[in-house]
Structures are given as structure tokens and as C-alpha cells.
Amino acid sequence: MLSTMRGLCFLFCVVIISLFFDRILASSFQADDDHQQTNNTTHFAIFVFGDSLYDPGNNNFLNISIVYKANFPPYGETFFGFPTGRASDGRLIPDFVSLHANLPLWKPFLAPGQHEFINGANFASAAATVLPENNPLTLNLDIQQGLFKEAASLLNQQLGDVEAEKLIRNAVYLSSIGGIIEVDIACCGSGIYRGHDCGVGEYDLCSDPDEYLYFDGDHPTDHAYSELAGLLWTGGRDNFTMPISLKQLFEIDLEDCETRNFSRSLSYAARVTVMTARSQFPAFKSHCPSIKNKSSTKLQSSGKDEKKQGKTYQTKLGQANILREVFDVLQKVELEEILSRILASSFQADDDHQQTNNTTNFALFVFGDSLYDPGNNNFLNVSNGYKANFPPYGETFFGFPTGRFSDGRLIPDFISLHANLPLWKPFLEPGQHEFINGANFASAAATVLSENNLLTLNLDIQQGLFKEVASLLNQQLGDVEAKKLIRNAVYLSSIGGVDYWVFDSDNATLSMKQDYVNIIVGNITNWVKEIYEMGGRKFAFQNVAPCGCSPQAKQDNNLTINECYEEMLEFPKLHNNALVNATKELEIQLPEFKYMIFDFYTALMDMTYNSSKYGIKEVDIGCCGSGIFRGDDCGIGEYDLCSDPDEYLYFDGEHPTDHAYS
């Protein structure tokens, strides 16, 4: 499956680009799952461009070799019962999308006879290319574009200029072209992988295509396309579409933008994209003229200048540099974008970054361990092993140690930037606090079970601190406004890893480990329910990291470069699976429970094994510490310090750098 996802990544990248530039306004189109035709006179359409992954049979009508066609058995056998020209045993992704969107199944554009284009058209052609010279035999992208222009002209004749223009403006343009698919063993074909000649000459055919990912050497089965289409339509649990799904794209009403709360409906990345598009595409400027793009705001950090080593940390909406920065963030660590989709329903963050007159307040409350601790442990009577309030921590961004286990910022800090919230002080820091934007209770080495670490702020203590804040908000805002804030707030957590670190697993069976995981996740579930009882509804979970791959784990267990301590990966895998199941149960038990899970485990593993795409050169050795992997004692005694933390995944033996967190 992983190889397939890599192989199909281009498909999703193309769709994601469409999603970024079409996510502009709030919802209108209701695509009922019973697939009944509505009485709404507005037309909705999808225009499909692509290659064999999307071709419904256009190549049937081209005078080309059978190699470029799929109009012979056993193609089509599973769903249609006969070959249609689709390179599958049944349907393709656009077919399933039409089903979800309550649209009729498109005929091939080149099929003779009468065509209705009010629901779109499919111009895709197997073996189509972006560059015409790469394949002059099929419908390259330029030819498909020409066919679309023909369809647009016919729509003008059929509907009139006004309605045709409205249809084209509201349509979705779905494309899959230019990609290469990796080959595993297929259901139909010849050779060791059944990679060629499905239906031609002597070939093998599996008994159940539903058990296969690929039907022939290059193309998924009907069952696989069904799953892929579901991901494309909904985004899926792993958020394969971002910042929104195709269904959400359909629900956007481009005609009603000025009457809607624009900034509240969009994620940070989508707002940035809108502003950039307005600056680069003149036609874009006529839409939603109330959007402003006039100021920039700095992320404040204790009065220190945020410029360091030629970098600027300003949010300049509408400028290309921030757009590149946003896309880097989305590609590297997806939490910001995924979470911002939840935050989008909460935060009233105008694009001019000015305070609005709306009396509703929006907040993010943070619970966790050292991955999220902004410096709360500075104010606890604990040893330096639980603190990061000494150099070289903090050197990259703040220029001084803040208590964060990083050379700079942590994930919640980047979230505050994207959500247009102020940078939180540690909750335990003396002085005046404003909680209308939330608070950060995280504490390094915090545990879910209080008995696992009595020295820091375990989850129960952090929950108690949140109750104090809720009480103060009642006093400050009044009961009605405080309840509104608590209800609309997002509750972000990253905790549990330390509980597994301290567990004595030497003689533990798998059953014993699973029981322990159930206790940890059960306590997290109880924490959710308690906040839910207080009025909270939106929860964001970061799962447990692959701690067996950290420099500290390698050093402590005498591992080699590129090696992970497998025993230490067992608990995170068990925990992360249990967390997924628990949130599904909570959805059933709590009717208004909304959540997302950031797969931190997979993100960090991807950074480890594909470091170059994140601009990271060193993943095995920490930037700061002692020992062969610099796995211990950063800033304590004699230790080594790298010259450029941005080139490192880990700053000390356990914690990522500012660059990695970004």
C-alpha cells in the first residue's frame, strides 16, 4: 500500500493544488447520499482531464494500437460486465466521485451521439501526456483543453452566457496526468508480476479482483479505486486531501461570499493562498473584495528581535515568501494545516490581523509533555534533567533559553502563528495572564498516570490547572461568554510517551503491554470526557513518537546508524492504534465530539528516512550533547554543539530542532 501511495502521489498533488485555489467561500451544494436529483436549478459540474487512471473509454475512438486501449475482456468484468475502455475491472475514481456527488456517469467525450455537459465531461485519454511531443498518438493535455473549450462553447449555446459562465465558475476541474505508477503483482496479465498483456495472448487472471490492489500492470482494481475515491471525496483519516476534501470543495458557494464570515471559514493556508492568488491573477481580485491585505504582524518573543541569521519571522499575507513558507510547513509537518481546519471553525482571524468588534473569544488549550512544554518546568523544583532553561536551548529563534526542549519553537508556537494567536507564556510563570486565547499547561516528562512521575505536571494536574482557568474566565467574561469560549476552544494534547518509557517491559508479554496501553488511553479518554462535560467539543491529538529511533535510544542501546530500537517502537504502535479506536468510540458516545489526530509517528519517520525533502542533513546524531550520538547531557558538563541546528532533525537526544518542528 505504501508503494501505491507513493505511486499515486502525483494524483493527489494535482487535486491538492485545485483544492488550495478553489477553497474560497462557505458551503452551498448538498450532495445527498441517496443520489436523488434535487430541484435546484443551479448546475454543478466536474470536468475531468487525465490519463489512463481517469479515461472512461475515449481511446476506444482513436485509431491507435490496442496497447493504448482497454476495450476487450477481461476489462470491465466486475462492475459493468463488459469492457468499457476503462483500464480496470470496473470503475475509475471519477466514476466514484460522480456517485458521491450525485452526478450521472459520464460517457467518453469522444463517444458518438448526444452529450449533455451541464454536469461536466471527461476528456481523459490513456497514455496522455502533458507535453505533446511525448506521445502524439493520444489526447495530450493541450488537446483535452481544446475539447473543454468546445464543451464551454456548447454550454453557452445551451444555457446562455450568464448561466454558462456561472456553471464554469462553480465547476471543479479534476486532473491526473504526468504521474508514474509503481508495479506490484496484478490480478490480470503475464509475467512474474502480471505486469503486461492483460487480455492479450496467454495471461493469468486472479479469482477475486477485490483482493488485489492492481488489476493490470499499471491500474488499480474497482475495489481499490472505490477506496481511493473515498479518500479523494472525504480526505480520509490520514487527510490525503488538504486543506479540504473534494466534497467540501463542492459545498463552496462562490456566489455568496460577501454575505459570509469569510475569514472564519478558511484555514490559514487557504487564506494565504487566496491573498497570493489575488495578487497574481487579476480575475481573482473581483471576488470577495472585502478581503484585506494591508498589514503584517510579528510573532513577539519577550521583546527580542525575531530576525536571526538573515531570517524573518513575519506573517506577510499575500506575499510569495510566506506562501512558500506555508507550503513548506504543509509538506513537512502536517499538523498545522490539519489543526487549522479545526481552528477554522473557531478563530475569527481577519486577514488584516486587526482586532474585530466581535465579542466572541477563541482559544487553544495545550496539554502535554516536553514536546509541547513552553517552560513550565522552569518553575518547578526539579533537576536539570527535566528542564531546558540553559544554553544552548533556545538559541536559534529566541536567542536565549526559554525552557523549550528545542533550539527554538515547538509545535504549539507554530500553531499560534498560523491561528493568529499570541505566543503563550508558561502557565506557571508569575505575573498577569490573559486566558481568552487559551493557555499552555504542558510539562516536560509529564505522564498520563500520576504514579509514573510525581515530579512534574501529570495530566490530572494539568486538567486541574485548566479548571482554574475556566473559573477565572467565568469571572472575567461572565458565565455566557466563558461557556461560549470553552465550547469553541480547541484542546490540543501530546502525552503518553513517558508512560511507556518508564514501563518495565523486560518480562512483559504482548497481552500485558496491550493492557497497559489500554489503561493509558483509557485515562486520556476520561480526560476528554471531563472536558466535554465542561463544554469542550474540539480535540486535537498528537500521537506518540517513534522514540526507538531517537539519538538517545540509539546511544543507550548501542545501535548503529540507520538503526532503530524495535522494542521501543512496539508501545508507540500499540498506543497509536488504540488512540484511533478510542476516538472512534468517543464519536459514538459524545454526539458533538469533534477531533483530529496528527500522525506524529509517521511524520517523524518520514523525516528520518526522507530527510532531504525537508532540508535536513543529519537524522541520527543530535545537534547538542555528549556521546557518539550526542544523546545525553545537552548543556551539561562537557558536550558538543553543532554549528547549524537547521541541518539536524534532533536538537538534543530526544527533541527536534526549531527547523524540524516548523
Residue 472's CB is within 10 A of a number of other CB atoms, namely: 15
Tell me the average pLDDT across 408-424. 81
Q: Which of 43, 418, 655, 659 is catalytic?
A: 655
- The DSSP letter of residue 547 is G
- Indicate the pLDDT class of residue 321, thresholds 50, 70 and 90: very low
Q: Which of 51, 89, 633, 652 is catalytic?
A: 652
pLDDT digit string (tens) for 486-512?
998 889 999 999 999 888 877 889 999
Tell me the average pLDDT across 24-42. 35
Q: Which of 103-117, 579-593, 631-645 has the highest mean pLDDT?
A: 579-593
Stronger pLDDT, 441 or 612, i.e. the higher one: 441
Q: Tell me how far apart the alpha carbons of residues 275 and 391 are, in angstroms, rounded to a whole number.
A: 39
Indicate the average pLDDT of the chain. Answer: 72
pLDDT score, position 615: 72
Give yes or no for residue 76 having a pLDDT over 90: no
**What are the structural domains of the chain?**
2-257 (no CATH), 261-332 (no CATH), 338-347+359-550+561-608 (3.40.50.1110)
Buried b (16+ CB within 10 A) or exposed e, 352-384: eeeeeeeeebbbbbbbbbbbbbbbbbbbeebee
- Indicate the pLDDT class of residue 464, thresholds 50, 70 and 90: very high
Closest by Cα among 103, 284, 159 to 151: 159
Stronger pLDDT, 334 or 284, i.e. the higher one: 334
pLDDT score, position 209: 65
How far from 556 is each of 77, 100, 405, 504, 549, CA to CA, in Å?
Answer: 57, 52, 19, 16, 11
pLDDT score, position 367: 97
pLDDT score, position 427: 93
The residue count for the chain? 662
659 an active-site residue? Answer: no
**Which cell numbers hold the place of 252?**
463552496
Give yes or no for residue 315 having a pLDDT over 60: no
Range of weakest confidence among 71-75, 435-439, 577-581, 600-604: 600-604
655 an active-site residue? Answer: yes
How far from 97 is each of 52, 106, 228, 574, CA to CA, in Å?
Answer: 16, 11, 10, 34
Give yes or no for residue 553 having a pLDDT over 90: no
Give yes or no for residue 646 having a pLDDT over 70: yes
**Which cell numbers hold the place of 589?**
458516545
Where does residue 309 rank: exposed (0-12), middle (13-18), buried (19+ CB within 10 A)? Answer: exposed
Q: Which of 346, 370, 406, 443 is catalytic?
A: 370
Q: Tell me how far apart the alpha carbons of residues 114 and 111 are, in angstroms, rounded to a whole number.
A: 9
pLDDT digit string (tens) for 120-149?
999 999 888 887 877 788 999 999 999 999
Contact 223, 96 (CB under 8 A): no
pLDDT score, position 196: 62
- Indicate the pLDDT class of residue 584, thresholds 50, 70 and 90: very high
For the sheet with 364-368, list strands across it: 438-440, 364-368, 490-494, 538-542, 594-598
**Which cell numbers hold the place of 245?**
476534501
Range of weakest confidence among 19-28, 54-63, 593-602: 19-28
Closest by Cα among 399, 398, 430, 434 to 413: 398
652 an active-site residue? Answer: yes
Stronger pLDDT, 307 or 210, i.e. the higher one: 210
Range of weakest confidence among 91-100, 114-123, 237-246, 537-546: 237-246
247: amino acid identity, one letter: K
